[in-house]
Amino acid sequence: MGSSLTPPPPAPTTDRLVIRLPIEPGLVCLRGLSPRRLRFEVEYGLERGTTANSFLFEAGPAADGHPVPPVLVHPPGMTYAEPFFAALAETVPADAALKVVVGVVNPNRVELLRAMATRWPHLGLVASNAGAKLVRELWEQRRPNAPGAPEPAPLPPLPAIDVVKQEVSRPLAAPLQLTLIPAPTPRWPGALLAFEEHSGLLMSSKFFSAHLCSDAFEESNRSSTEEDRRWFYDCLMAPMARQVDTVVDRLEELPIRTIAPFHGPAIGQSWRSLLADYRRWGESQGKASLSVALLFASAYGNTAAIADGLARGVARSGVRVESINCEFAPPEQLIAAIRGCDALLIGSPTLGGHAPTPIVSALGTVLTEGDRSKPVGVFGSYGWSGEAIDLLESKLRDGGFPFAFEPIRVNFSPDPPILRTLEETGLALGRRLQTEQRRSRLRRPGGGLQESRSNPAVQALGRIVGSLCVLTTRKGEGASAMGGAMVASWVSQASFSPPGFTVAVAKDRAVETLLHVGDRFALNVLAQGRENGPMKRFLQPFVPGEDRFAGIELETSPGGQPVLPEALAWLEATVSQRMECGDHWLLYAQVSHGGVLDPKGVTAVHQRRTGIAY
């Protein structure tokens, strides 16, 4: 498993490149390539670059003979503007009445659309009802001008918008026909999918995406992108699994032959299995007995990025996340989420020294409908002030709500260490809710825990013995460096050539996010009689964002991984494969270096009485 796509072409000096990938006569994919991580958001955490896929339908007569202008589906963000405009201009002259289907609306997209309107003055937009609302709101907005900077050029007028209120078809140059499908979600309320009926091509926007840099239009096989698509799902789709399932229901009715998402290669032969994967990946969210309501609004995407990090952490603990964009959620949905949740998180940007009106309204609903016995959390991004976060905190504290964590304040956008802290904060909240639920069940008469422990098969499973080890890892450099560690006893050699072993990592371990295909780590094998010190150190709870190695004298492997001097032996290895096994990931790692620190020592082992606990 893991990524084995065609290597990306060498990065140009701008680190952005747009290539043309013909799909069929009259249709070409304009693919933006970014070999490096595009932004410091949780969805880019695997750091394998990304692509931005746009689709250009050339002008020509429709089936009824009427002329159809060129149609561009899913434009990229402003980061690709220069090479994208150059590629587009090869086919579309400046005086063309270019139509642009806007599948995702955010400030970066709207900035590009404004630049397009200057170069193609006859531009027309096609957007969903919510998307059109966002475009109108964002068209006149600009990021605050830095002190002393020159005044920006005047904005072009807003183009006419063809508003798609429900699923409709639009003619293209014959024999092509475009079906437009609104697919609103809390993260992308203006999402608009496009399906070309003749080719069976579904241009799925953010759905089914994967952040990979590849110049091949289609993936080579299903396994080559599975980990990357799963990561994207877990980061962005899992917190809104219910709405995502609704979209998948509709898509299963279409005569699809190929799915082409906004990010990553297209999916041809295995698109049906990908739809099934989306359903399977969301099952745990649907079955979860605990839930966290995540309320937010986001002007420039920064607060949404914070929400994504928190949501990913909560979801990894097995707790369901109900993500709600307060700008578009109806009152009844908001009230149901507030009344039904076990914890509530609310986040806001600060705009002109204030919280957006939808957040103020949502806060009022929380104060009216919220349960004071359930924990809350406040988060938000800001530029030069953070009054919105202060407002949320003061009102909720005055209202008597207990806080799950101190308010989270992020200046502009979160960087990798902050994103990791956000995930760990969400994970800690999810674990806390589960612990409280277990304690509540134990207090009830007739619990089934002892029955499970007395099961002969469970007792036999516990007799499988594993070496006691400490897994350590470090990734990145300087201020962006991240590290993690965990006690591991489910370890076994797996191969002679190449030398390799397997280690099981629980899905709710904070270190799990640093152990994907290609990541390095060290396995420190503990010595019998000297295992208590390292175990005590790495079994104790850590505060989110805390340095796991603070105050410890470490050695370093050739690949820069932390090695414990008191270990019996150590191995440096690289994750080669990951397999999902219930509540754990099984990692297969290939050894690159290692050493025995105490030739006379004996390996410490872990003896268990039951197979349902460590």
| Structural domain total, the chain | 3
The residue range of the domain holding 63 is 17-142+155-283
Please indicate, yes or no, whether residues 351 and 259 belong to a single structural domain of this protein.
Answer: no
Same domain, 408 and 504: no
In this structure, what CATH number is given to the domain that contains residue 494? Answer: 2.30.110.10
pLDDT for residue 166 is more than 80? yes
Mean per-residue pLDDT over the chain, rounded: 92
Phi, psi of 523 (to 5 degrees): -110, 115
Residue 38 predicted with pLDDT over 70: no
Q: Does the structure show a pLDDT above 90 at 165?
A: yes
* Among candidate residues 320, 386, 289, the one with its CA nearest the CA of residue 347: 386
Average pLDDT over residues 536-542: 93
pLDDT of 268 higher than 60: yes
| Nearest CA-CA partner of 15 in 40, 31, 32 | 32
Residue 448 banded pLDDT, cuts 50, 70, 90: very low
**Domain termination residue (choose one: 283, 304, 338):** 283
| In a shared domain, residues 107 and 219 | yes
Residue 6 domain-assigned (yes or no): no
* 147 part of a folded domain: no
Element spanning 456, H or E: helix 456-461
Residue 11 lies in a domain: no
β-strands 520-525, 500-506 pairing: unpaired
Residues 6+ apart with CB under 8 A from 393: 378, 407
Is 189 in contact with 154 (CB distance < 8 Å)?
A: no
Query: Do residues 490 and 381 share a domain?
Result: no
pLDDT at 447 over 60: no
| Percent of the residues in the chain that have a pLDDT greater than 70, as a whole number | 95
Same domain, 512 and 582: yes
Determine the longest span between alpha carbons in the chain, in angstroms: 87
Specify whether 370 is located in the same domain as 491: no
Residues in CB range of 342: below 8 A, 6 or more apart? 290, 291, 292, 319, 374, 433
Residues 252 and 334 in one domain: no
What's the average model confidence in pLDDT over 362-386?
Answer: 95
> Are 231 and 104 in a shared domain?
yes
Q: Domain ends where: 376, 404, 434? A: 434
Residue 263 confidence (pLDDT) above 60: yes
**Whether pLDDT at 150 is above 90:** no
Residue 310 shares a structural domain with residue 459: no
* pLDDT above 80 for 147: no
What are the backbone angles phi and psi of residue 560, rounded to the nearest 5°? 85, 20
Residue 450 included in any domain: no
Q: What is the pLDDT of residues 174-193, one digit of tens each?
A: 999 999 999 999 999 999 99
Predicted confidence (pLDDT) per residue in 464-515, tens digit = 999 999 999 999 888 888 999 999 999 999 999 999 999 999 999 999 999 9
In a domain, 12, yes or no: no
Write the CATH number for 345. Answer: 3.40.50.360
Instruction: Name the DSSP class of 92.
Output: S
**CATH at 228:** 3.60.15.10
Query: Is pLDDT of 57 > 50?
Result: yes
Q: Is residue 440 part of a domain?
A: no
Q: What is the pLDDT of residue 443?
A: 63
Question: Is position 2 within any domain?
Answer: no
Confidence of residue 153 (pLDDT cuts 50, 70, 90): confident
Asked if residue 298 and residue 267 are part of one domain, the reply reads no
Indicate the residue among 228, 257, 283 that finishes a domain.
283
> What residues have CB less than 8 Å from 174, skipping those under 6 apart?
60, 61, 62, 63
- Assign 385 a pLDDT band (cuts: 50, 70, 90): confident
Separation CA 535–CA 532 (nearest Å): 5
> Does residue 163 share a domain with residue 76?
yes
Please report whether residue 442 resides in a domain: no
55 and 192 within one domain: yes
